[in-house]
Amino acid sequence: MMRLLPQSLFGRLLLFLTGGLVLAQLLSAGILLQDREQALSHAIGGHIAQRIAAIVGLLDTLDEAERRRLVTALDLPPTRLSLDLPWSEQATTDERYHTTLFRALLRRQLGPDRPFQVEIADDWPPPIADRPAWRAPHRPPRDWADRPPPPPEEADRPPRRWQHAMMLGLRNFVVQVRLHDETVVTFQQVLPEEVIAWPTRLLLILLVLLVSVAVLAALAVRALTRPLTVLANAAAELGRDIRRPPLAESGPLEVRRAAAAFNTMQDRLIRYIEDRDRILAAMSHDLKTPITRLRLRAELLDDSPLREKFQADLDDMQHMAQASLDFLRGGENSEPIASVDLNALLESLQEDAEDVGDEVGIAGTVRQPLRCRPLALKRCLTNLLDNALKYGQRADITARDTPQRLTLTIRDHGSGIPDTELERVFEPFYRLESSRSRDTGGAGLGLSIARNIARAHGGDLTLRNHPQGGLEAVLELPR
């Protein structure tokens, strides 16, 4: 079910609102149509009952010949009259709303002592010939499909819209009333199609209302979700450029408060980075000065083996200090962003590796330049290549470029590492003792620095073991 829902907040809100509106409009239309049908039943049923009562009262005062002349004159659609049909001995027990209502209206007009019976058919009767056939001794079948074909003279007439009648409750009133001399007069009243047809104008009004409210709901949802989109884009850009322009604090109160909180967070991050830069600059200066003095003093030692040990220890100290400073600068954003041709960058790294006897292969191409911090990204790729060549003898770089993301996979051909260690090796100063001891060099910060640089660009760096052996470093960078 969740897979069928739109992924965006705008799509989900619009779906829920329009779905609710459609359901409400359908329920409203159903209630309106039901009320309309009941109102029509009261109005038309009352009118038909009055007309039947008036005709019955007039027929009671006439002799048989005058009755037949009057019935012949009044036997016109939509009301058909007959004096020739016998009283139906099959009393109906129809207790539906329309039948009960019409029976009550008719009893009110005819009086409580007048015998009559009522049937409201659910189907439209076939065309009536000269002699009314709707109350023949054999009652016509209920199912329209089972009816006999119409007479030839009716076959060429255009088809009537029976479906409108059925859906809106069209009723065929059949009433038999006994006169004072026990003569049976039979009435059949067929409601005109235009009375019971769909109220097109009303439905059109409801449709226009639904479309108008849906459009307004879409505009309102767009206006409400747009600040979230702007905030999300600003948060994504913050990882690339901490000094991006602040958000405009405009709009509703909640939007202004969110923008103000975001701008405050950005200012605090900038101050934190500036303070860290000052500390790093001081540490770099303060560490280099004593190390340089120790180097000078070590040169004055007469004992050559001791001097070499001092020099080795000082080299380790300087390397560790420099690596620590580089790690702390891994998320540094001061370097300006520029467009970089990664194909040329990868080829230059390949040439540098081959110059010292290492083997690096490149597969795939980057379709267009990438906006990044060139020096930081070069350091990230250099750390990954050095790591692959140091522990895997050979490195293969695979580039996969899409409009949304650039993926660089650097694979070595070593023995890989345990799956439980794939995340721990990114921890600062962490090394795998079995294969990455101090004898191989390094302070355990290369992968940490590379991941910091990747995340500073809004991407990420992960490790995984290749099924055919070796370790893969997957660097993902957004476009």
pLDDT in tens, 320-343: 777 666 666 655 556 788 899 999
Distance CA 53, CA 176 (A): 12
- In order, the DSSP letters of 302-316 are S-HHHHHHHHHHHHH
Domain boundaries, the chain: 2-126+160-201, 253-328, 338-478
pLDDT in tens, 186-206: 998 877 666 666 677 777 888
**338-478 CATH pick, 3.40.50.150, 3.30.565.10, 3.30.450.20, 3.40.1360.10:** 3.30.565.10
Higher per-residue confidence, 461 vs 335? 461
pLDDT in tens, 67-109: 999 999 988 887 889 888 888 766 556 677 777 888 898 899 9
* Cis peptide upstream of residue 78 (ω within 30 degrees of 0): yes
Q: Is residue 57 pLDDT above 70, yes or no?
A: yes
What is the pTM (predicted TM-score) of this model?
0.46
- In order, the DSSP letters of 91-113 are -----SHHHHHHHHHHHHHH-TT
pLDDT in tens, 370-394: 988 888 899 899 989 988 998 878 8
Distance CA 464, CA 474 (A): 8
Of 383, 389, 406, 410, the closest CA to residue 398 belongs to: 410
State the number of CA atoms in the 13 A half-sphere of 273 facing the CB: 18
> 85 with 187: CB under 8 angstroms?
no
Distance CA 19, CA 9 (A): 15
Characterize 92-110 residue by residue with b for buried, 16 or more Cβ atoms within 10 angstroms of its Cβ, and e for exposed.
Answer: eeeeeebbebbbebbeebb
Neighbouring-strand partners of residue 173: 120, 189
